[in-house]
């Protein structure tokens, strides 16, 4: 099985090295003596410092190579830019620094106001594009984080920062001289005692480290570490800043790969950062978010950077980081529900597909619905223990859950009482079983041997792999919940948009394909001659549309095989169509014929605009290859060109038309 975690780590590492650095590559270079090369070809890198392993930049300056995580020397900034840098880092979102009586006004508010005035002026003579030519004029020299802390007597707050600096190295290449840049690490450490951090009310106070800032590898650099402290609402708020106050040449005085960690030592702790004072009533969505994420606290705010901290949920943490390129690993989510006595909750497709197993199916469905009822009851009791500000949202969530449960019970009642609904439900489950079995089959290679098409192996038996044929709870709950609104035209839920929200791989596609199968079967059962379009699937990405088309094709084949064995589903085959635009699929039958002839004539280079690369039913590979120049597949995705052939053992082919798609 592929190691997706390792692959993700590699992608993240490559991205950081590319944007932030460093990226030490190539051959070692001895910098203890003058560096010279006879030719330009000989000087080509990449290179790294043979003594330290550090990166050497030989074709570009550091400030042009890396765009993220750079602290420029403050001496190169204008006075206004430097003041803005420090004010921004020292400010606290949501609080006025002096009085905390209202939102803080930032130094860019006037500029923002000018932009808003320009956008709202309605002047038709204005250009469509906003003038952003000065967006990169200002070079950041300070980064900081704001925290809320508890600092008992004897504790301290320690800041440890790490950077990279690049120094020029003169290199001779033939008769020319060039500056190359070699990286070296810079480490900074500063400690602040608790007594200095616990300031009283009455405005912001700047606190200096108890001892001079320790800087290793920073000869010639001026790096300042400060703490701006204030007490607001009884809470000690501290903004820690690291500023590059160096002077000199820009690249040599810049700090790269900037970041630092603040650590609460000897009994100190960082507490959840106070929320912005509410100046208005939260709407329903904001109340829901506050409820759902109440255990996930914010422990720091970044200024000119992002903040990161220890794993949560927690009531306090002992370290927070200032990072220039943040990342977060979202927790894994499982669709499985563990039962109290062990095992996972599931509902058998076999039982739901077989009318003779109705009692078994009912027992499984009732177990699911009763379990959901118990869960709702537990949440109702939990709601009474919540803080008052979360109870309104909690009660609304519980009401929504009860509404969903009622819809599920109504849907199951219709299956039990309406024969057409019951039959459509049974057939939909049977079709889902069949498509699962066919989709799991390995592709069977199609070859051309002396003018005869040969397909390797035997057609799939239709047997399900182990572990399949079971609905996950959210899948069958979704299907049962929408039964009544699909089957009953006068349902009050018909104006609702149903949303399945689950990460990739959870089973969303099968859930909605089951709903599609039920709806199509029910329409045919009620009127076998009613063969119009029933389902429209729309996707935002062409690649995703093509992928989902292949999965839906297996279901359509399964449904049509069921139709052939019954007399109450009409004579018209179930069909599937797709439209992706002429660059991906033909828009007309004439375009399809032309594309097919071009593919058969030159299979090695002609674009294959036919989405089915394997038979959805027998798994035989479709479409010509270099070894199959004129092999015609036995299923092509449009009716006028359906051609029997390929594997004559495929049940889809034996009827001469099979399941097909139309443009």
Q: Above 80 in pLDDT, residue 449?
A: no
Number of structural domains the chain divides into: 2
Q: Residue with structure tokens 């790969």?
A: 257
The whole-number pLDDT of residue 542 equals: 67
277 and 388 fall within a common domain:
no
Instruction: Give domain status of residue 465, yes or no.
Output: yes
The residue segments making up the domain with residue 513 are 349-655
Contact between 534 and 499 under an 8 Å Cβ cutoff? The reply is no
524 and 622 fall within a common domain:
yes
C-alpha angle 12/162/253, rounded to 5°?
105
Q: Considering only residues 88 and 537, tell me which one the structure prediction assigns the higher pLDDT.
A: 537
Instruction: Give domain status of residue 56, yes or no.
Output: no
Last residue of a domain, one of 307, 323, 339: 323
Last residue of a domain, one of 253, 288, 323: 323
Report phi then psi at 497, rounded to 5.
-95, 120
| Least confident interval from 427-436, 522-531, 574-583 | 574-583
Instruction: Give domain status of residue 199, yes or no.
Output: yes
Instruction: Give domain status of residue 650, yes or no.
Output: yes
Helical (H) or strand (E) element with 427: helix 419-439
Token pair for 173: 């290449």
Q: What is the spatial distance between Cα 303 and Cα 321, in angstroms, rounded to a whole number?
A: 12
Contact between 45 and 27 under an 8 Å Cβ cutoff? The reply is yes
443 and 296 fall within a common domain:
no
633 and 498 fall within a common domain:
yes
Per-residue H/E/C for 510-534 = HHHHHHHHHHHHHHHHHCCCCCCCC
Q: What is the spatial distance between Cα 549 and Cα 529, in angstroms, rounded to a whole number?
A: 25
Instruction: Give domain status of residue 342, yes or no.
Output: no
288 and 369 fall within a common domain:
no
312 and 249 fall within a common domain:
yes
Taking residues 641-654, what's their average pLDDT?
Answer: 54
* Per-position DSSP letters for 370-406, written without gaps between them: HHHHHHHHHHHHHHTTS-HHHHHHHHHHHHHHHHHHH
359 and 269 fall within a common domain:
no
Task: Output the average pLDDT for the chain.
Answer: 82
261 and 371 fall within a common domain:
no
317 and 433 fall within a common domain:
no
Q: Specify the pTM.
A: 0.75
204 and 91 fall within a common domain:
yes
* Confidence bin at 357 (pLDDT 50/70/90): very high
Taking residues 510-528, what's their average pLDDT?
Answer: 96
pLDDT digits (tens, 9 = 90+) for 221-267: 999 999 999 888 788 999 999 999 998 888 999 999 999 999 999 99
Instruction: Give domain status of residue 111, yes or no.
Output: no
Q: 3-state DSSP call for residue 106?
A: coil
pLDDT digits (tens, 9 = 90+) for 587-612: 888 888 888 888 777 776 777 787 77
3-state helix, strand, coil split of the chain in percent (to 5) is: 35, 20, 45
Contact between 233 and 45 under an 8 Å Cβ cutoff? The reply is no
pLDDT digits (tens, 9 = 90+) for 536-588: 988 777 667 777 888 899 999 999 999 999 999 999 999 988 877 777 788 88
Q: What is the spatial distance between Cα 372 and Cα 476, in angstroms, rounded to a whole number?
A: 13
Instruction: Give domain status of residue 446, yes or no.
Output: yes
Instruction: Give domain status of residue 330, yes or no.
Output: no
279 and 395 fall within a common domain:
no
Q: What is the spatial distance between Cα 60 and Cα 162, in angstroms, rounded to a whole number?
A: 23
Q: 3-state DSSP call for residue 289?
A: helix
520 and 603 fall within a common domain:
yes
């Amino acid at each position: 099985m592929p190691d997706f975690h390792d692959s993700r780590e590699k992608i993240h590492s490559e991205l950081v090295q590319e944007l932030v650095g460093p990226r030490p590559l190539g051959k070692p270079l001895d910098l203890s003596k003058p560096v010279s090369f006879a030719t330009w070809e000989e000087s080509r890198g990449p290179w790294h410092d043979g003594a330290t392993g550090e990166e050497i930049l030989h074709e570009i300056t550091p400030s042009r190579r890396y765009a993220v995580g750079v602290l420029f020397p403050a001496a190169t900034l204008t006075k206004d830019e430097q003041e803005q840098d420090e004010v921004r880092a020292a400010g606290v979102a949501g609080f006025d620094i002096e009085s905390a009586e209202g939102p803080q006004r930032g130094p860019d508010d006037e500029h923002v106001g000018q932009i808003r005035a320009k956008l709202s002026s309605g002047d038709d003579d204005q250009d469509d594009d906003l003038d952003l030519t000065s967006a990169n004029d200002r070079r950041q020299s300070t980064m900081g984080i704001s925290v809320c802390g508890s600092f008992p007597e004897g504790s301290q707050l320690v800041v440890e920062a790490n950077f990279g600096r690049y120094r020029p190295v003169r290199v001779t290449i033939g008769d020319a001289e060039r500056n190359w840049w070699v990286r070296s690490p810079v480490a900074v450490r500063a400690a602040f005692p608790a007594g200095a951090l616990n300031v009283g009310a009455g405005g912001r106070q700047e606190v200096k480290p108890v001892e001079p800032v320790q800087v290793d590898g920073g000869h010639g650099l001026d790096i300042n570490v400060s703490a701006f402290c204030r007490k607001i609402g009884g809470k000690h708020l501290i903004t820690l800043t690291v500023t590059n106050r160096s002077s000199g040449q820009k690249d040599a005085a810049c700090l790269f790969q900037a970041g630092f960690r603040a650590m609460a030592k000897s009994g100190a702790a960082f507490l959840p950062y106070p929320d912005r004072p509410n100046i208005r009533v939260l709407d329903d969505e904001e109340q829901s978010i506050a409820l759902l994420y109440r255990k996930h606290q914010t422990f720091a705010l970044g200024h000119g950077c992002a903040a990161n901290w220890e794993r949560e949920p927690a009531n306090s943490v002992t370290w927070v980081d200032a990072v220039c390129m943040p990342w977060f690993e979202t927790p894994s989510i499982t669709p499985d529900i563990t039962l109290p006595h062990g095992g996972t909750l599931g509902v058998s497709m076999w039982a739901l597909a077989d009318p003779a197993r109705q009692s078994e199916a009912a027992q499984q469905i009732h177990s699911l619905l009763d379990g959901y009822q118990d869960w709702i009851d537990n949440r109702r009791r939990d709601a009474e223990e919540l803080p008052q500000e979360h109870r309104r949202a909690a009660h609304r969530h519980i009401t929504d859950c009860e509404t969903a449960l009622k819809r599920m019970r109504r849907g199951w009642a219709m299956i039990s009482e309406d024969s057409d609904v019951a039959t459509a439900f049974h057939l939909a489950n049977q079709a889902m079983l069949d498509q699962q079995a066919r989709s799991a089959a390995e592709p069977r290679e199609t070859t051309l041997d002396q003018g005869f098409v040969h397909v390797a192996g035997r057609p799939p038996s239709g047997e399900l792999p182990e572990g399949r044929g079971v609905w996950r709870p959210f899948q069958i709950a979704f299907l049962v919940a929408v039964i009544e609104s699909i089957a009953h035209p006068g349902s009050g839920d018909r104006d609702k948009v149903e949303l399945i929200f689950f990460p990739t791989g959870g089973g969303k596609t099968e859930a909605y394909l089951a709903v599609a199968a039920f709806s199509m079967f029910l329409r045919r059962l009620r009127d076998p001659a009613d063969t119009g379009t029933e389902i429209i699937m729309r996707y935002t990405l062409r690649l995703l549309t093509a992928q989902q088309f292949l999965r839906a094709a297996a279901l359509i084949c399964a449904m049509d095989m069921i139709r052939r064995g019954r007399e109450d589903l009409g004579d018209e085959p179930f069909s599937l169509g797709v439209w992706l635009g002429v660059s991906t699929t033909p828009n007309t039958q004439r375009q399809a014929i032309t594309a097919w002839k071009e593919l058969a004539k030159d299979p090695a280079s002609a674009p294959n605009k036919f989405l089915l690369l394997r038979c959805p039913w027998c798994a035989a590979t479709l479409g010509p290859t270099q070894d199959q120049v004129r092999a015609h597949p036995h299923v092509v995705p449009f009716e006028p060109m359906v051609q029997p052939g390929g594997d004559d053992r495929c049940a889809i082919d034996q009827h001469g038309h099979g399941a097909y798609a139309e443009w």
